[in-house]
Amino acid sequence: MKLSIYGKGCRKCDQLTANAREAAEALGLTVEIEKVTDMNAIIDKGVMRTPALGVDDEVVIEGKVASAEEIQALLEP
């Protein structure tokens, strides 16, 4: 599974990354976490507000730092 963090690399982006990692570990998932900081790539993906989280190339959270519990609910099979 691939998780993408869309944002400029700010503190909120770092927190979203940590929360995503925590959620994946809680579920025992092996994930690849990619940080997308290029504004053109972010816009091309259709993200209008950062930070955003993508799961397997689909943006699922936009414009907020989701908690580990919220992300875990999205990742559960």
pLDDT digits (tens, 9 = 90+) for 26-66: 999 999 999 999 999 999 999 999 999 999 999 999 999 99
What is the DSSP annotation of the chain?
A: -EEEEESSS-HHHHHHHHHHHHHHHHHT---EEEEE--HHHHHHTT--SSSEEEETTEEEEESS---HHHHHHHH--
10 is annotated as an active-site residue: yes
Residue 77 has pLDDT above 90, yes or no: no
User: Looking at residue 15, what is its pLDDT?
Assistant: 98
Confirm whether pTM is higher than 0.85.
yes
From the list 3, 4, 6, 13, the catalytic residue is 13
Q: What is the CATH number of the domain that holds 46?
A: 3.40.30.10
Segments forming the whole domain that contains residue 7: 2-75
Q: How many domains does one find in the chain?
A: 1
From the list 1, 2, 10, 39, the catalytic residue is 10
32 is annotated as an active-site residue: no
User: Looking at residue 9, what is its pLDDT?
Assistant: 87
